[in-house]
Amino acid sequence: MKVEEIMRMLEEQSPLAYALEWDNAGLLAGDPQKEVSRVYVALDASDAAVEEAVAIGADFMLTHHPLIFKGLKRIVADDFIGRRLIRLIQNDIAYYAMHTNFDVKGMADLSAAMLGIREPEALDVTACCDGKEEGIGRVGMLMEPVTLTYCAEFVKAVFSIDQVKVFGEPGRLLARAAIAPGSGKSEIDNAIDCGADVLITGDIDYHDGMDAAARGLCIIDAGHYGLEHIFIRYMKEYLQTKCPELEVVAQDIVFPYFTV
């Protein structure tokens, strides 16, 4: 199977048209005509991920976050981005990223389903297709009202997270929830406007969390990686279903930091 054929299947799942204008999704390195038999899936094209792709003899690497995000004026080995690109190109590994297009068509519905959110709607509308609004995150009703503490424990269990950071009163009863995997500080106003009782997201700083709680919106900060690592398993299963002739290897779920 060629790179361009895999690209078409990935774009059936998450069309590039849904990527936000500032993003850099799609084929970032490699030959569309290259034959592929082994795919490696990771959240980020970290040094460890690139080296594992090389070690297993991958022909194609798929990540959520794009390694090339801003414009590059040079590709050299003493720069961490250049170093990784050189390793991929030297080993003839095509590299593709599904970022905000997957956030809109993939991550949003997947994360909402994992939480059991009923009748989810787009939290931050970024596109409209066939009369249906699409966008970042989802908002809807929980299966039943729960306390903030219970909801936080549920998020930990569903996303296999050891800890979360919570802003709000522990006993506050929640009925309507918003979720925005990744960095969700910019979604606080949208969550409030949508009538959410809680926003489940990542990368919330002290002042934004405190201010949101003061405005009546509880926050469960499950971390950027904590919510988005679901991309890895989902895309492995998607590719195995769509392309059974491919060998698909997924990076282990290992948080890129530790707490003491």
pLDDT in tens, 244-259: 999 999 999 999 998 8
Domain shared by 121 and 207, yes or no:
yes
- Separation of CA 145 from chain center: 27
Residue with the two structure tokens 């090339």:
68
CATH number of the domain within which 85 lies: 3.40.1390.30
What are φ and ψ of residue 166, in 5° steps? -125, 135
What's the confidence (pLDDT) of residue 260?
83
Percent of the chain with pLDDT over 90: 95
Domain shared by 21 and 72, yes or no:
yes
Percent of the chain with pLDDT over 70: 100
Asked if residue 58 is part of any domain, the answer here is: yes
Q: Using CA atoms, how far apart are residues 232 and 9, in angstroms rounded to an integer?
A: 16
Domain ranges, residue 111: 103-227
User: What six digits make up the tokens of 106?
Assistant: 């993939």
Domain count, the chain: 2
User: What six digits make up the tokens of 3?
Assistant: 């790179």
Burial label, 34 (beta-carbon count in 10 A; 0-12, 13-18, 19+): middle
Beta-carbon count within 10 A of 29 CB: 19
pTM, to two decimals: 0.96
What's the confidence (pLDDT) of residue 253?
95
pLDDT in tens, 219-243: 999 999 999 999 999 999 999 999 9
Domain shared by 139 and 238, yes or no:
no
Residue 58 DSSP SS3: coil
Domain shared by 113 and 75, yes or no:
no
Asked if residue 93 is part of any domain, the answer here is: yes
Domain shared by 223 and 233, yes or no:
no
Beta-carbon count within 10 A of 123 CB: 25
Domain shared by 198 and 144, yes or no:
yes
Grade residue 208 by pLDDT with cuts at 50, 70 and 90: very high
Asked if residue 260 is part of any domain, the answer here is: no
